Structure 1
Amino acid sequence: MRGWIPGIKLNTIYAKLLGRYLMLTAFGTSLMAGYILWSFHDYFMRSRQVDLDNWTSALSESVADRLEEKDIKQVKVLVQRYGAPQTITLRVFNPQGSLLATSDPRLDSQVKDWSQVPGIREALQHRVKQGVAKGVLSNSDRLYITRPIERNGQLLGVIRMSMTLEQFQRQFARVIWSILGTLAVTILLCALISSRFARSLSKPIEIMQNFAIRLGGGHFGDKLTIHENNELDQLAAELNRMSERLASLDKERRVFLANVSHELRTPISNVQVTVDALKAGASEEPELRDRFFQTIENETKRLSRLIHDLLDLGRLEAGVFELEKQPISLHGLINRAVNALEPRMLSLGISTQVNVGNLMIQGDPERLLQAILNLLDNAIKHSPANSQVSISGYSQGKQAIIQIQDQGKGIKEGDLPRIFEQFYTTDPARKGSGNGLGLAISKRIIEAHQGSIIASSTSNQGATFTIYLPIIRNS
């Protein structure tokens, strides 16, 4: 690929892409890991709470039977049987909140006020209470449930079961570290993949950026080659087309400047030579003086026409030329053009044949008249004496078609593609009769009216210029 700028390393795009990929990856994986951990924790807590609820619900019936029989000894046996040291603590209280039986008598003997233990007050008020709280005399978290023991609407006592969460918390901590390790490995792998992916995207973009910088520096015509099989290929193709177009425009600009310089230099040189001749004494001979003054006048008019045409062409190409659009009769427009050039055609023995329908078009009448006059002027220049210029106008669909045909030698096939270029002339020997801007100006005017113009020719049978303009209606 021509157009690379050595020494320039543009890693900004790569860094931004990689940073965004990593941020999205880290956010997505962290969100997923957090959801998994939360789901696991929530599932464990819910399942343990359900277990506690089922266990206390079943035990409360057995304990109720014993309390109705006032068999406290059997209550203690049940509590000891279903309580598990270090993991599950089971307690039974009487309706006044005093402890009747416990699976951990050594610890519970130190408690003075059981009403401060979470859940006891709610159970004494005939409500089931469950949740997470600190141990009775420890700081470890425990899952608990308190349930009133009722029979026939009478409160017989309260059962409270609690389960330590230390083992679960240790297991959960191991799960957290496992997930964090997996998360770190995932992010690392994603970073490697993202780095490769970001580089595959940023490299062609950086190449195109460098290519655009070269275009901005005036290095036109370079070729950009990128094979990505995506939108970047299309962008590269557009940049190549832009480069070719800019190269073409730059070439046209150089040719245009050369032609302008030549066209300006010729009349100015002629005027300067004539003035020098007059200063040298030619003014003393009346006939020679008058001829020199006529030369100065002709060259001045030629220079004025050239400057006027250049200004018109510049405004048309820049798109700053405001058109005063209005409905125009095509027949009337053609008649105005023919009448303006009729004296000149009569002096050259050239006749016209006009066959224009009653069509209405929308446009600036003076500018369209200028375009038609330029085309008729070109036809007259290339028409032999006693020949005819034909002008026809008709409608075809939503377009008005105007054809101007002369009976001259025609235009060579190799000249047709360039006939509307600035300063281009098909006959170098006749270059002094015009500045080569008339057809270019006509083309720009017609295109400004959303129309088009083409030229065609047959050897020794004249040339035909065909104009297409939007039609309003048939009159």
Structure 2
Amino acid sequence: MRGFLPRIKLNTIHAKLFGTYLMLTAFGTSLLAGYILWSFADYFMRMRQVDLDNWTSALSESVADGLEQKDIPQVKLLVQRYGAPQNLTLRVFNQQGNLIATSDPKLDSQVKDWYQIPGMRAALKNRVEQGIAKGVLSNKDRLYIARPIERNGQFLGVLRMSITLEQFQRQFARVFWSVLGTLAITILLCALISSRFARSLSKPIEIMQNFAIRLGGGHFGDKLIIQENNELDQLAAELNRMSERLASLDQERRVFLANVSHELRTPISNVQVTVDALKGGAYEEPEIRDRFFQTIDSEIKRLARLIHDLLDLGRLEAGVTQLEQQSISLQGLINRAVNAIEPRMQTVKIALQVNVDPLTIQGDPERLLQAILNLLDNAIKHSPANSQVFISGYSRGKQAIIQIQDQGKGIKEADLPRIFEQFYTTDPSRKSSGNGLGLAITKRIIEAHQGSITATSTPNQGATFIISLPLKG
């Protein structure tokens, strides 16, 4: 076996895996970063709104005292005191919406219509309103609350407080860029990790892809080396087994073609030589001419048998042979085989003993008869004169067992695993008596009937072939 480890290049598999991992990572981290920033901004706004609500609730009581007593200087003093911070603006309006006191008189003197200021209309209608709006005569965002001032159910005026968001926006911008920088670094690190992870997955896949391409190109027997300790190892093992099997099948195909060529060439050459001899004048001698014609007839029949067996074997292996499904008496099937082979056995002085139980199987009677005749023919070929062949049939569980045993010299242990191969013969000296396809055809017939066939042998005591077929249910 040759090692196979091609150079890996970045291809579409790696690119797709890398792109997918990076996209998911970027999407996930961006979503998380966005949620963090939104949560931070929302939390800050809600806390500031709560603060404004608490401040104005407490301050409105003090302002209500001044308005109830019509002590405007006291109201202005409260507004100046609590509205002193630069980021905060405090205003008090009377029932008509006229400005009474403000913490920013210079700016507020420019306002002509306070009804257009966000929150004022709602507050003058005795409703609290708060939110975010642009500052008075400016484009800066401010958080505001407009609260009606009441005392004993009497509407006294409106307290409006606003606070600039500029400081928060600067802080939020710093947080935003910090999060964005962290996000960029995270995505970069994830990209490196994703690339490594994608390569760890794509590399063995690419190796197996190239391995499969080489198999498709006829390079059988290569060995795939992958060490991932996961399902890819199992896939690589299966590919290696497939490669070995294909190499074995390719070798079998080559041997089969060589054997077929040899088997076809021999009778054709014999016929050609005989015809040439007849052309050269051999036909003038009757005795030689008759012998040559007999040789031609024998070789043509041998060639016909070989072609028939090859076609038969090909159809069985391809699964295109249609098998009949009939109820078959095992005793009747064996008797047919015995009747067909008995004259030949008498000629070579071989006795036959049959002991078959009354069993019923399912299948094609003609094909099964062919298989049994092939085994009996094999037994006769390898049995000496005045010996016996034993045929027995019995049941074992749900199987019908047919056993054919001869008293020949047996089969060598080294030959037993190969006797069902095409063109394989255990005795080269007997090759002319057969083409080596009989046992191969028998095995295919039995397997087509969902059965099995095995062989055992004892040196100088003969060989035993055992067929196992399903009994009819």
Question: Match for residue 302 of structure 1?
Answer: 302
Task: Tell me if the contact between 1:10 and 1:206 (Cα under 8 Å) persists in the aligned partners.
Answer: no
Amino acid at match of 1:91: R
Task: Tell me if the contact between 1:85 and 1:103 (Cα under 8 Å) persists in the aligned partners.
Answer: no
Amino acid at match of 1:3: F
Q: How many Å apart are 1:429 and its aligned residue? A: 0.5
Q: How many Å apart are 1:106 and its aligned residue? A: 1.5
Give the whole-Å Cα distance in 2 for the aligned partners of 1:190 and 1:10.
18
Amino acid at match of 2:410: G
TM-score, length-normalised on structure 2? 0.92
Say whether 1:368 aligns with 2:368.
yes
Task: Tell me if the contact between 1:3 and 1:210 (Cα under 8 Å) persists in the aligned partners.
Answer: no
Change in CA separation of 1:150 and 1:256 when aligned onto 2, cut-off 3 Å: same
Question: Match for residue 444 of structure 1?
Answer: 444
Question: Match for residue 89 of structure 1?
Answer: 89
Amino acid at match of 1:419: I
SS at match of 1:245: helix
Task: Tell me if the contact between 1:389 and 1:406 (Cα under 8 Å) persists in the aligned partners.
Answer: yes
Amino acid at match of 2:202: S
Matches within 5 A, 1:411-426: 411-426=411-426
Question: Match for residue 169 of structure 1?
Answer: 169
Change in CA separation of 1:366 and 1:68 when aligned onto 2, cut-off 3 Å: farther
Change in CA separation of 1:54 and 1:413 when aligned onto 2, cut-off 3 Å: same
Change in CA separation of 1:436 and 1:174 when aligned onto 2, cut-off 3 Å: same
Change in CA separation of 1:178 and 1:272 when aligned onto 2, cut-off 3 Å: same
SS at match of 2:110: coil
SS at match of 1:115: helix
Task: Tell me if the contact between 2:5 and 2:225 (Cα under 8 Å) persists in the aligned partners.
Answer: no
Question: Match for residue 318 of structure 2?
Answer: 318
Change in CA separation of 1:403 and 1:127 when aligned onto 2, cut-off 3 Å: farther
Change in CA separation of 1:464 and 1:171 when aligned onto 2, cut-off 3 Å: same
Question: Match for residue 3 of structure 1?
Answer: 4
Matches within 5 A, 1:94-113: 94-113=94-113
Give the whole-Å Cα distance in 2 for the aligned partners of 1:353 and 1:126.
121
Change in CA separation of 1:58 and 1:339 when aligned onto 2, cut-off 3 Å: farther
Question: Match for residue 143 of structure 1?
Answer: 143
Question: Match for residue 75 of structure 2?
Answer: 75
After superposition, what is the alpha-carbon deviation per residue over 1:397-438, rounded to whole angstroms, capped at 9, x for unaligned? 333322221121111001001111110000101111111011
SS at match of 2:393: strand
Change in CA separation of 1:92 and 1:247 when aligned onto 2, cut-off 3 Å: same
Change in CA separation of 1:223 and 1:72 when aligned onto 2, cut-off 3 Å: same
Question: Match for residue 43 of structure 2?
Answer: 43
Give the whole-Å Cα distance in 2 for the aligned partners of 1:67 and 1:329.
121
Q: How many Å apart are 1:303 and its aligned residue? A: 1.2
Give the whole-Å Cα distance in 1 for the aligned partners of 2:92 and 2:327.
105
Amino acid at match of 2:167: Q
After superposition, what is the alpha-carbon deviation per residue over 1:246-290, rounded to whole angstroms, capped at 9, x for unaligned? 221221111111100010011111222222233333334444433
Question: Match for residue 58 of structure 1?
Answer: 58
Q: How many Å apart are 1:85 and its aligned residue? A: 4.1
Where does structure 1 lack aligned partners over 5 or more consecutive residues? none
Change in CA separation of 1:89 and 1:325 when aligned onto 2, cut-off 3 Å: farther
TM-score, length-normalised on structure 1? 0.92
Give the whole-Å Cα distance in 1 for the aligned partners of 2:329 and 2:86.
108
Change in CA separation of 1:450 and 1:39 when aligned onto 2, cut-off 3 Å: farther
Task: Tell me if the contact between 2:5 and 2:224 (Cα under 8 Å) persists in the aligned partners.
Answer: no
Q: How many Å apart are 1:171 and its aligned residue? A: 0.9
Amino acid at match of 1:117: I
Amino acid at match of 1:49: Q
Matches within 5 A, 1:83-232: 83-232=83-232
Q: How many Å apart are 1:113 and its aligned residue? A: 1.3
Amino acid at match of 1:246: L
Please, which moves more after superposition, 421-430 or 123-132? Answer: 123-132
Task: Tell me if the contact between 2:128 and 2:147 (Cα under 8 Å) persists in the aligned partners.
Answer: yes
SS at match of 2:222: coil
After superposition, what is the alpha-carbon deviation per residue over 1:341-400, rounded to whole angstroms, capped at 9, x for unaligned? 233223223333333333333333333332222222212221222322222222323333
Equivalences, count: 472
Give the whole-Å Cα distance in 2 for the aligned partners of 1:125 and 1:335.
117
Amino acid at match of 1:275: V
Change in CA separation of 1:470 and 1:90 when aligned onto 2, cut-off 3 Å: farther
Question: Match for residue 466 of structure 1?
Answer: 466
Say whether 1:257 aligns with 2:257.
yes
Give the whole-Å Cα distance in 2 for the aligned partners of 1:442 and 1:291.
34
Amino acid at match of 1:442: T
Q: How many Å apart are 1:4 and its aligned residue? A: 4.2
Where does structure 2 lack aligned partners over 5 or more consecutive residues? none
Give the whole-Å Cα distance in 2 for the aligned partners of 1:266 and 1:362.
40
Please provide the CA RMSD for this pair: 2.3
Q: How many Å apart are 1:109 and its aligned residue? A: 1.5
Give the whole-Å Cα distance in 1 for the aligned partners of 2:353 and 2:41.
98
Task: Tell me if the contact between 1:270 and 1:299 (Cα under 8 Å) persists in the aligned partners.
Answer: yes
